[in-house]
Amino acid sequence: MAPQTLHPARRAALKLSFEFFPPKNEEMESQLLSTAETLKVYAPEFVSVTYGAGGSTKSRSIDTVRKLIAERGLTNTAAHLTCVGASCAEVDAVIEEFLAAGVTRFVALRGDAPGGAGVAYQPHPEGYANAAALVAALAKRGVRSISVSAYPEKHPESADVAADIDMLKRKVDNGATQALTQFFFDNDDFERYLNRVRAAGIDIPVIPGILPINNLTQVMKFAGLCGARVPQVLIDRLQPLDDLPEERFREATLIAAEQIVDLAHRGLSDFHLYTMNRAPLISAVCDLVQFQRMDAASPAA
């Protein structure tokens, strides 16, 4: 099976970005750099590297960003940045480190409370109050590409979607240039959210975050923590294949490709893929959708 075909002109307009997380050891670093090299063939608009709450992965994040820029030629690497658990001076110092490493793009996030899910967020007494304030700090330094988060199914700590959209507007007013969404699996949820964003007068690009399902159990657990929903229809498609890795891989590829193609038919052209630092499933999805490649191995249209 294959997802619904896209018109060649629509397919040619599709753009990609990829998200990585900083590796914990040398073996994981080797895997990440190999994954980045493999995915370069899709000419991503940018790639991004996550940053732990309170700077818990600061040195690894900065090191990963440097290597992606210097060793893999990904000069469009965006650095994630959070403000939780740190003073303004500490965050400013990290910004300067990233700028010195050649970073021109940032993903500005508040960050999760150090205590984890269920723990109320408290701004650092000498820190930036929220992501909107962090965006303003980056814009003040002349950063012109600032991505922020968006939540089609509501941030788990927000009172409602309206509060989420109000915060997004504050980020945009302070200089945010695009939004990357939390992963979701129901495109109707995204479309409803996008309609509300546009009705609120927010006109920056809102890029859907796509998470191909490498491990259903893991994704369901992660979704529960961040307020996302895994539709039962997807669970029913994948659960019977738990002990059939090849069939599960093909089905997971198809599910993600179907989601992207449907969003493209709804007018979306940019997609942010959460890679989990692994290339095979991401590559399979991109090839099934027929994203353009820069090598001779590009699938036939």
- Reading the block at residue 29, the tokens are 């670093």
The one-character DSSP state at 84 is T
- Domains of the chain by range and CATH? 8-289 (3.20.20.220)
pLDDT of residue 158: 83
pLDDT digits (tens, 9 = 90+) for 94-136: 999 999 999 999 999 988 766 555 556 677 888 899 999 999 9
Give residue 53's pLDDT. Answer: 64
Q: Is the pLDDT of residue 1 over 90?
A: no
Average pLDDT over residues 255-276: 97
Q: What is the dihedral of CA 88, 89, 92, 93, to 10 degrees?
A: -150
pLDDT at 114: 61
Residues 6+ apart with CB under 8 A from 229: 153, 184, 185, 186, 189, 223
Given this model, what pLDDT does residue 5 score?
78
CB 178: neighbour CB atoms within 10 A? 21
Q: How far apart are CA 205 and CA 269, in angstroms?
A: 10
DSSP string spanning 212-246? --S-HHHHHHHHHHHT----HHHHHHHGGGTT-HH
Kind and range of the H or E element at 82? Answer: strand 77-82
**Cα torsion through 24, 29, 31, 32, rounded to 10:** 100
Instruction: Please state, in angstroms and rounded to a whole number, the distance separating the CA atoms of residues 101 and 53.
Output: 21
Residue 290 CA to residue 162 CA, distance in Å, equals 36
Pick the residue with more confidence: 101 or 7?
101
pLDDT averaged over the chain?
92
Write out the two tokens for 1.
């099976």
Q: Report whether pLDDT(299) > 80.
A: no
Cα–Cα distance, 139 to 108 (Å, whole number) = 11
**Residues identified as active-site:** 19
> Is 80 a residue whose pLDDT tops 50?
yes
Got the DSSP string for 123-166?
--TTS--SHHHHHHHHHHTT--EEEEEE-TT--TTSSSHHHHHH
pLDDT grade for 84, boundaries at 50, 70 and 90: confident
The pair of structure tokens assigned to 213 is 């399902």
For residue 115, give the amino acid letter: G
For residue 218, give every residue at least 6 positions away whose Cβ sits within 8 Å of its Cβ, in sequence order, or none. none
**Banded pLDDT at 227 (limits 50, 70, 90):** confident
pLDDT at 120: 63
pLDDT beyond 90 at 220: yes
Tell me: pLDDT of 296 over 80: no
The reported pLDDT for the residue numbered 300 is 44
The rounded distance, in Å, linking the Cα atoms of 169 and 176 is: 9
What is the signed CA dihedral for 228, 177, 140, 91, rounded to 10 degrees?
30
Give the tens place of pLDDT for each residue, 161-219.
Answer: 999 999 999 999 999 999 999 999 999 999 999 999 999 999 999 999 999 999 999 99
The band of 156, judged by pLDDT with boundaries at 50, 70 and 90, is: confident
Per-residue pLDDT band for 73 (boundaries 50, 70, 90) equals very high
Note whether 266 and 208 are within 8 A (CB).
Answer: no
DSSP 3-state helix, strand, coil percentages of the chain (rounded to 5)? 45, 15, 40
Confidence at residue 301, expressed as pLDDT on a 0 to 100 scale: 40
What are 12-62's pLDDT values in tens digits? 899 999 999 999 999 999 999 999 999 999 999 999 999 876 666 788 999
| Residue 263 in tokens | 């969003």
The pLDDT score that the predictor gives to residue 32 is: 96
